[in-house]
Amino acid sequence: MDPRGALDHAQERFERAAELDPTFAWPRNDAGIVHVVRATYEAARGIDPRPSLDRAVDAFNAALRADGSYRVPYGNLAAAEATRAAYELEHGMDPRASAGRAVEASRRRLETSPQDTTPLLNLAWAQLIVAEYELTSGRSPNAALEQALGSLGAALNVNTANIEAYQRLGTAHTLCSIQQYASRADGAQALLEGRAALEQAIALDPRNAMSHLLLGKLELAVLRDGALRVKELARALQRAEAALSISLWINGEQADAWVAMAAVHRARAERARREGRRVEDHVRQGLSAVGKALAVRPGLPRAMAVRGALELERAHASDRVIERTDSAQRARQHFEAALRENPLLRGELEGPLAEAAALHEPLRLRRGRD
């Protein structure tokens, strides 16, 4: 359900309250929260949330000017800036400035509320965004990951039953494992710790769709292990599909979950191709999942990248020249579309792009001679 009509109504009420008493900070803070809720809705549906986030930041700063002793807006300001940083990361922009503002606002909130877990979780969120950016950019994420783990440890010291803390802890360990596999190290221990954190989150609330989604993503990280045996791969894919299926059963409107499910089908298609089996069923299921992701969030770069990878598997498996080259051309187009939306994917997509170009080249040359 689209909440924007109700949000507009709430916004009008808070703005009216602020006009009646310019020294009253609360309605300005609450107006900012309305803008953040709107931005979150927009980001989840492929709409640029930054204009809404700009208005949220303005409202929170107005609340702080109205009453300097009222520190609550700092926590909400951190959430707004972290939301902006997450959007920037997803679209290939440098999120570090926004993440830095989120970190600063979280710390200002912690000065007066050291036992409040919310600013600690926002702090960890911003630090994890920086870690993922560094990892995607080919740099070490270790410093940001260590900071995030420290923030999450502090949050769990305050509340050992905080679901979001365990979710972010699972994300931190997933990133650790990806970094370790990329450097030819063993990421198994990080995956074990991440799995334990996410299973704890699920135990606290089995119907939390995000916990199951993050567990599915963690299981997919196993595929980065170059030494993975066939049986281990099959088990990892089974675990990933099971977790993602539960997540989508709880909430079928999660674009990220559909993209992850498409990645499962792509991995199965690659395995089938290497074993000389039929890939088309896996490709079709994967493309269907991508379509559902893009229906929820149009233009999602990761979805377009997985769509390209599925077409590339189809091209590799085809023994008909025209079908192979047509699939390769579609793969190349999807990869290029993903890169236009998120240039940070270049390192990941350079190899597949080269494969698609090589598969498409023979027919292009033949058509040129004809």
In a domain, 75, yes or no: no
- What is the distance between the alpha carbons of residues 214 and 122, in angstroms, rounded to a whole number? 18
In a domain, 326, yes or no: yes
Tokens 């991995």, residue located: 267
CATH of the domain at 355: 1.25.40
In a domain, 207, yes or no: no
pLDDT digits (tens, 9 = 90+) for 245-285: 999 999 999 999 999 999 999 999 999 999 999 999 999 99
What's the confidence (pLDDT) of residue 188?
87
What's the confidence (pLDDT) of residue 228?
66
Positions of the chain with pLDDT lower than 70, given as ranges: 226-228, 362-370
pLDDT digits (tens, 9 = 90+) for 121-138: 999 999 999 999 999 999
DSSP string, 47-94: ---HHHHHHHHHHHHHHHHH-TT--HHHHHHHHHHHHHHHHHHHTT--
> In this structure, what token pair is assigned to residue 242?
């099971």
Start-to-end CA span in the chain (Å): 55
The answer to whether the CB of 342 falls within 8 A of the CB of 301 is yes
In a domain, 41, yes or no: no
The structural domain count of the chain equals 1
> In this structure, what token pair is assigned to residue 161?
């039953």
- What is the distance between the alpha carbons of residues 357 and 333, in angstroms, rounded to a whole number? 10
In a domain, 259, yes or no: yes
Which domain covers residue 352, as residue numbers?
A: 254-370
Tokens 């990645």, residue located: 263
This prediction's pTM = 0.92
In a domain, 308, yes or no: yes
What's the confidence (pLDDT) of residue 362?
58
- What is the distance between the alpha carbons of residues 85 and 77, in angstroms, rounded to a whole number? 12
- What is the distance between the alpha carbons of residues 72 and 56, in angstroms, rounded to a whole number? 14
In a domain, 97, yes or no: no
Nearest to 131 by CA among 164, 178, 201: 178
Helix (H, G, I), strand (E, B) or coil at 260: helix
The answer to whether the CB of 169 falls within 8 A of the CB of 131 is no
In a domain, 106, yes or no: no
